Structures are given as structure tokens and as C-alpha cells.
Structure 1
């Protein structure tokens, strides 16, 4: 039993979640502040992976980052970097595919906070960044935790996107979901079942963790 796909999947999920947290926090904050046509278009693009078939998104990422043309050719010629059929490509595709799971809950939570919180912080001489870090974020811990867990769990189960841009290279891009598919194709249901059970167990624990955290975080003192 080769557990490399499981470890590779966990590594991919962890890196994707961490990078999306760094990118998603300021982006969600910016999107939550006011409305404009540009923000609406950008938010629509970010939300597209929720409704777009993964294979379609993977196909266009494959075309965009192919070393033969487009952005991929420019990256290859200038920086000697190739995203197609590499772990870097999996991370890039996962960030794009899982972005709405990170940004959506955080943006919604920030929009529900009273404006008086920010105004009080500004009146005390705090900058916008200090207000965001020290005042707003502590007040959205449950949605923030939910966004982190959902992003991690969603990346665990990716198939179409990672297969299109990463292929099926053992030890490099062969994640657990692809390993399950390969095992089923080879009629090796025992191995497919083990991979599936491991993914199911990890995801189940993560989801239960969200419910438990939110329950005790939001529990009133009178309960």
C-alpha cells in the first residue's frame, strides 16, 4: 500500500490553505468595503469555480500555462518555470479552484460586522491595517476557522482540475483522488477503498471540528 498520494494530498491542501489565507484575508477585506463594477466582476470571477465544471477550469489552466504558448511560454522562456505537470501547477490550480471557499465566508462575516467597530478604532488613531488585524479579525474567528477548514477539506477531494494540469505522475502529481480513480480502473477495489476511507475520515474529522468549534465559540453564557 503506497501512502505517498495521501501525504502528497495533505501537503497540497496545507500549502493551498496557507497561501489562500495570506492572499484571501486582504482580498476579502477589500471586497467587503463598498461596491463597484470592478469589484463585482472580480467577485464573479472568484466565485466561478463553484459552478464551473472542474474539467473546464483545468482545461483552460492547461492552455494558459502550457509551455508552448500563452503565459506558460512566457514563464518558461523568462523564468524557466513550468506549472503544467508539476506540483507547483497543482498548488496554483488548487488556489484558483478553492479560492471561493476561503474568501466567501470571510467577506460575508466582515460585511456583517457593525461599522462602529472600525470607526471606533480609527478614532483611537489606529490605521486601517491595524484595525483589520486587531479589531475585525478577532470578531470573525468562527467564520475564519470555517473558511480555513473548508478550503483544506475541499482541496483534499480535488480531481478534475489537478488531473488536467498535473497529470498522473507518481510522487509528483498523483494525489489521493487520482489514486482512487487509478485503482478503480485497475479493478483494485481494495486499494481504492483504503484511499477513500482515509480521505473520508480526514474530511469527517475536519467537518466535525468546525461544528464543535462554532458551537462552543458561539455558546451563550446562559447555556
Structure 2
């Protein structure tokens, strides 16, 4: 019965918006995991062996990464929109390599979403690498293992829970974007109109049943993600029992 109600309330445009949202979140999550891994490794290194100048640089990098946590999405979207304009260096470079205009395009959404969701991927990885500590790497080095072998066979398996958490949080955060997406992508059907923008359109048109359906889907998805993340924390036996 619930499935029939959902089918009747979800228009083809709603399904298209959901599919585009999943596509955007998947691409962003994969790219963020690739970029965030070396960045998190560098940020997780012990500061006792670093110079004061390098520690200051690390503090600046951490502050820049964390900016999306406190910055209004419209502010971030506004400056990215300026950066993506055809007359900017980024805009000229994107045209030179054949990407065309990044503003109001799916490629622009990917870049903006990566910046917006970066702290949700980097921080779990930093926590995972810090939890491992240097002891395993030092033991592997004494046995003649190189850096790549140590990372591949020791660090990566031990940090697997952190990678899973980072991927889930990055994916979920991208799914829930609105302000940055609307500023950078606008509202182009099949190109930049994701689920959050589609809900906004339904509300503007007073199509509350359709807005309720899409909102309920995102609400249930968000709750499931948070339940999964909290259930993976040590000592949460009650939450694990639900999964």
C-alpha cells in the first residue's frame, strides 16, 4: 500500500531528481575519498616532529577544511559562483580543458559539493588514522616494509571503519545539500535539479503531497544513516540491535 502511494505521488520529475541526487552523491563521495585520504594522513601526523611553521600551515589547512561547517551555504555558493564565472581564472581554465562553464552545470555541482562535504570526509579519516597511531607503521618499517606496502596492508585495513563512516557521511551530506546547489547549479531539469531543489519547487507550487513524499524519503534516509553511524560507535549495543 505504501509503495502504491509512493508511486502515485512521485512524478517522473521527482524520480529524475532522486536519480540525479544519487548520481551526484556517488561521484562526490568517490572523489572525496581519493582526495581526503592523503590529506587526512598528513593532518594526522604527530606535531611533535614538525616545525612550528609547518604546524601553523596545518592549522590554516584545518580551518579552511572546516569552513563549510560554520559558513552559510549561500555564502559559499556565492563565492564559488564568482570563481566559476567565465572571466575568472577557474572559468578560463575549465574552458581551456574542454569542460565549458562550471556554473549551472553538473561538473560545477560536483566541485562545489566536494568543497561543501569535505570536512565530513576528512575528519573521520583523521580520527581513524590518529586511532591507529604510529606503532604499527614503525613495526612494519623495522621489517623492511615500504610506505606504500605499510599503508596498503596495515593502515588501510585498520582504518576501514573510518573510511566507511567517511563515505557514508559524505554521501548523506551531499544528498541533503540545498543552498550551495541552488547557487551553483540553479534549477535545470536533468542537469542540476536535485531532490532538495525539487522539494523547493513543490512547495512554491503548493504541491504539498509531492513535497511530503520527497521529504519523507530524505528524512528516512538521513535517520538511517545517523542510526548506522551511531551504532558503529563502541558501547552502543542498543543501537546495534536495531540493525
TM-score (norm 1): 0.91
Q: Output one character per residue of 1:128-176: Cα deviation in whole Å (capped at 9) or x when no partner.
A: 2221221112222222211111111100100011111111000100000
Contact 1:142 1:214 in 2 (8 A): no
Q: What SS does the corresponding residue of 1:105 show, helix, strand or coil?
A: helix
Task: Write the distance in 2 (CA, Å) between the matches of 1:74 and 1:187.
Answer: 42
Aligned match of 1:155 in 174, 181, 189?
Answer: 174
Structure 2 residue 221 is matched with structure 1 residue 165: no
Contact 2:230 2:236 in 1 (8 A): no
Q: What SS does the corresponding residue of 2:159 show, helix, strand or coil?
A: helix
Q: What SS does the corresponding residue of 1:184 show, helix, strand or coil?
A: helix
Partner of 1:221: none
Aligned match of 1:195 in 201, 205, 214?
Answer: 214
Partner of 1:79: 97
Is there any run of 5+ residues in structure 2 with no aligned partner, and where? 1-10, 48-54, 238-243
Q: Quick check: 50-59 or 110-119, which moved more? A: 110-119
Partner of 1:59: 78
Is there any run of 5+ residues in structure 1 with no aligned partner, and where? 219-223
Contact 1:66 1:72 in 2 (8 A): yes
Q: Quick check: 56-65 or 25-34, which moved more? A: 25-34
Aligned match of 1:131 in 122, 144, 150?
Answer: 150
Task: Write the distance in 2 (CA, Å) between the matches of 1:153 and 1:139.
Answer: 23
Contact 1:94 1:162 in 2 (8 A): yes
Task: Write the distance in 2 (CA, Å) between the matches of 1:95 and 1:212.
Answer: 26
Q: What SS does the corresponding residue of 1:187 show, helix, strand or coil?
A: coil
Aligned match of 1:40 in 50, 59, 62?
Answer: 59
Contact 1:17 1:148 in 2 (8 A): yes
Contact 2:128 2:161 in 1 (8 A): no
Contact 1:58 1:93 in 2 (8 A): yes
Structure 2 residue 204 is matched with structure 1 residue 185: yes
Structure 1 position 208, deviation (Å):
2.8
Structure 2 residue 30 is matched with structure 1 residue 18: yes
Q: Quick check: 62-71 or 206-215, which moved more? A: 206-215
Q: Quick check: 206-215 or 170-179, which moved more? A: 206-215
Number of residue pairs the alignment of both structures matches: 218
Q: What SS does the corresponding residue of 2:71 show, helix, strand or coil?
A: coil
Q: Output one character per residue of 1:60-79: Cα deviation in whole Å (capped at 9) or x when no partner.
A: 10000111333213322x22
Q: Quick check: 197-206 or 92-101, which moved more? A: 197-206
Task: Write the distance in 1 (CA, Å) between the matches of 2:26 and 2:236.
Answer: 24
Alignment of 1:75-154 (within 5 A): 75-76=94-95, 78-81=96-99, 82-154=101-173
